[in-house]
Amino acid sequence: MFEKFGRFFRAQVRRRLKPDVIAIEGLKISTDLGDVTKTIRKALYRESYEAPERQLLKDIVAPGDRVLEVGAGVGLVSLTCARICGAENVLSYEPNPGMRPIIEKNFALNGMTPNLRSKALTTSPGTVDFYFAENIYSSSLYDRGLGEKTPVPCDAISDVFAEFKPNVIVMDIEGAEVDLLPACDLSAIDKIIVEMHAHVVGADKVQDLVDYLEGLGFSLKKTLSISYLFVR
């Protein structure tokens, strides 16, 4: 209760003072987001930005884990992982090139430099159409009729697995998870945190992905909002 009140109080102060940098769970995060949607700034003020993923990460990520993050946003999840298992053990993908300076600023504020690639992650290398929405939360490989189609560079996830050798996947790709995860060889992965977007792809496809992962030996350990934690 006191923690919730503290977050509420801090959010009110931040809305009034509009600080350029705030602290979220000991991590310094810039709120100077340029043209990025105000929705993110408000979520940062409230400390609700990617809160379910961050909570699940703290539950299961351990020193020595190697984390592949797909969809880095502002870099807060990247930093949460880096603080636990070391920046050299985190590889983050973010296809929106406009987010790179924001992510790098947040890395610099915390003196950590996880590996960052301004690319999409798909089944084949090259380029892929990405739909950039005004609200960054809605940007996706899926055409939701909300954004402008732009080709972006992409890496093949199988190549990244072979190169980086992750054992943890953190994925927030606005619906594309239902296509990408089944296309992976997940034999070396033992922990997955994935946002499921039933409002984008439909509840049936989300359930199909849950069933597929459970068929590979993963157990659905916990859900927080639309974030699912699978452990093998």
Q: How confident is the model at residue 107 (pLDDT cuts 50, 70, 90)?
A: very high
What b/e string do you get for 24-53 counting C-beta neighbours within 10 Å, with b at 16 or more? beebebbbebeebbeebbebbbbbebbbbb
Query: What SS3 state is found at 138?
Result: helix
Asked if residue 70 has pLDDT above 90, the reply is yes
**Are 3 and 11 in contact, with CB atoms under 8 Å apart?**
no
| Domain 49-231: assigned CATH number | 3.40.50.150
More confident residue, 213 or 130: 213
The band of 141, judged by pLDDT with boundaries at 50, 70 and 90, is confident
Residue 191 Cα distances to 131, 168, 213, angstroms: 29, 5, 11
Are the C-beta atoms of 76 and 175 separated by less than 8 Å?
no
| pLDDT recorded at residue 138 | 64
Side by side, which strands form the sheet with 191-195? Answer: 115-117, 90-93, 67-70, 168-171, 191-195, 227-231, 219-224
Domain ranges within the chain, ordered by starting residue = 49-231
pLDDT value, residue 143: 66
Task: Reply yes or no on whether the pLDDT at 172 is more than 90.
Answer: yes
The pLDDT of residue 178 is 94
Q: What is the pLDDT of residues 155-169, one digit of tens each?
A: 999 999 999 999 999
pTM of the model: 0.93
pLDDT tens by residue, 9-65: 999 999 999 999 999 999 999 998 876 677 889 999 999 999 999 999 999 999 999
Written in H, E and C, the secondary structure of 11-36 is: HHHHHHHCCCEEEECCEEEECCCCCC
Tens digit of each residue's pLDDT (9 = 90 or more) over 180-226: 999 999 999 999 999 999 988 999 999 999 999 999 999 999 999 99
- Token match 């939701």: residue? 144
Name residue, tokens 């090139």: 97
Contact 118, 107 (CB under 8 A): no
Q: Report the chain's C-alpha Rg in angstroms.
A: 17
